[in-house]
Amino acid sequence: MSDTTETGPMLAADGTPLKVSLNRALRRQKLRALALIAPLLLFVLITFVVPIGSMLFRSVENEIVRDTLPKTVAALKNWDPSLHELPGEPVYAALAADLKVAVEEKTHTKLGSRLNYENPGMSSLFRQIGRSVKKWDLATDAPFKEKFIEANKGWGDFSTWRTLKTYSPAYTNGYFLNAIDFEKGPDGIRQREGNQKIYVTLFIRTLWMALVIMGSCLLLGYPVAWLLANLPNKTANLLMILVLLPFWTSLLVRTSAWKVLLQQQGVINDVLIWLGFISDENRLVMINNQFGTIVAMTHILLPFMILPLYSVMKTIPPSYVRAAKSLGATDWTAFWRVYFPQSIPGIGAGAILVFILSIGFYITPELVGGTQGVFISNRIAYHISSSLNWGLAAALGTILLAAVMLLYWAYDKIVGIDNVKLG
């Protein structure tokens, strides 16, 4: 349809060209829609996008060394660690000048705490030298190399200077290397030794146990959801209240209840002894291990599997199964060939929901998992609240986020995210 006539462009009632008037109206509609969703966008930006962006940045940020010791970092550029020789006097003099300022600003202890993650003992080294530097006169007390070594022999240790040199850039991959059980050594990147290799094991354990919990929730939740979807509404509503009842109880209370049930002197062991299945000397160990974590988390996350399944099953017409039976199908064939394929969207939604929730749990594994049932999230929480190694916690969180996104992408390719429905 043309927007022009024989005498010129078509005009709106106010004399404006029709095309311009329509574009203006569409622009106003878009701005109005944007204004309506602006509060939600702002909320998501502040509470979701910004924290994740901050985590990603903190996992590589390392500006504290450069900002606290700018002269030392510049002087170390000409020092070659491969020679295995201590730096010369100019580097020690630059360090003395930097520490003089850092002690006044009280930033040298923060630097020591940061480097202590990479080389244990650096924190006390910087704390102790701070007390000595206060008494030094930069103009008359040179040379400083002997003074540093005299104050603490650690300043004469090659590993101290190698650590300063290695972590002097503004950005580092050291946190990510630590997160996969590697470290920067004198000869480059190397794998950690012995019992220091814990994070890869925790990642594998987290993903594996999350899959087991997801599977157990599906096995237990599918029959319950089918029952709710096929019972009369009055009975189904009563049972639905029982499914939702755990949401009315604190997560900590539910986890503590499982500690009482599963411990060796707990209710379940006492009942098994009373029934004669086990003897008092052979009580089952069901807590402080992976079994305890799986049982407790399955109970906690089961409603998140039942609800998506129920909402999808409720939309499946019962006449489909009756039609299949009328055509000669057995109960099993009618279920497997007709009913089950229609419930797959609910399975996908519940599986994704339970899996993503389970890998982020840390309270329940901490209380019932012991040393064998904790997740990587427990180590992230430890580094955030106890060791204060936020860089390593951010790197662990980033790797976990990447693993989830990778699995999500694989699920989309294999099953199709469009097939996930909540009803």
> How many residues does the structure list for the chain?
423
| Residue whose pair of structure tokens reads 């209380």 in the numeric block | 367
Residue 210: per-residue pLDDT? 93
Q: What average pLDDT does this structure show over 74-87? A: 85
CB within 8 Å of 350: residues ≥ 6 apart: 217, 218, 221, 304, 305, 306, 307, 308, 309
% pLDDT > 90, the chain = 22
pLDDT reported for residue 21: 73
Q: Which residues contact 303 (CB under 8 A, 6 or more apart)?
A: 243, 244, 246, 247
Reported as a single tens digit per residue, the pLDDT across 365-381 is: 988 988 888 899 999 98
Q: Is the pLDDT confidence value at 1 over 50? A: no
CA pair distance 258, 235, nearest whole angstrom: 29
Contacts of 158 (CB under 8 A, 6+ apart): 81, 84, 85, 86
Q: pLDDT tens for residues 249-301?
A: 888 889 889 988 988 888 898 988 998 888 888 888 888 889 999 999 999 99
For the chain, give the secondary structure using H, E and C: CCCEECCEECECCCCCEHHHHHHHHHHHHHHHHHHHHHHHHHHHHHHHHHHHHHHHHHCCECHHHHHHCHHHHHHHCCCCHHHCCCCCHHHHHHHHHHHHHHHHHCCHHHHHHHHHCCCCCHHHHHHHHHHHHCCCCCCCCCCCHHHHHHHCHHHHCHHHHHHHHHCCCCECCHHHHHHCCEEEECCEEEECCHHHCCHHHHHHHHHHHHHHHHHHHHHHHHHHHHHHHHCCHHHHHHHHHHHHHHHHCCHHHHHHHHHHHHCCCCHHHHHHHHHCCCCHHHCCCCCCCHHHHHHHHHHHHHHHHHHHHHHHHCCCCHHHHHHHHHCCCCHHHHHHHHHHHHHHHHHHHHHHHHHHHHHCCCHHHHHHCCCCCCCHHHHHHHHHHCCCCHHHHHHHHHHHHHHHHHHHHHHHHHCCHHHCCCC
**Angle CA(295)–CA(298)–CA(300) in degrees, nearest 5?**
110
**Per-residue model confidence (pLDDT) at position 7:** 57
Encoded tokens for 273: 């002894």
Could you tell me if 370 and 343 are in contact, meaning their C-beta atoms sit under 8 angstroms apart? no
Q: Hey, what are 215's tokens? A: 């599977």
From CA 10, how far away is CA 52, in angstroms rounded? 51
Q: How confident is the model at residue 14 (pLDDT cuts 50, 70, 90)?
A: low
Pairing of strands 4-5, 182-185: unpaired
What is the predicted pLDDT for the residue at 213? 95
pTM exceeds 0.75, yes or no: yes
Q: What average pLDDT does range 139-164 have in this prediction? A: 86
Quickly state the pLDDT bin for 132 (edges 50, 70, 90).
confident
pLDDT digits 0-9 by tens, 208-244:
999 999 999 999 999 999 999 988 888 888 888 888 8
pLDDT of res. 20: 72
Mean pLDDT computed over 33-38: 86
Between 241 and 23, where is the model more confident?
241
pLDDT at 72 over 80: yes
- For 3, other C-beta atoms within 10 Å of its C-beta total 12
pLDDT of residue 302: 94
Contacts (Cβ under 8 Å, ≥6 apart) of 179? 199, 392, 395, 396, 399
Phi, psi values for residue 379, rounded to 5°: -70, -35
Q: Is the pLDDT of residue 421 over 90?
A: no
Q: Return the pLDDT at 70.
A: 92
Considering the chain, what percentage of its residues have pLDDT values greater than 70? 93
pLDDT digits (tens, 9 = 90+) for 96-131: 999 999 989 989 899 999 888 888 889 999 999 888
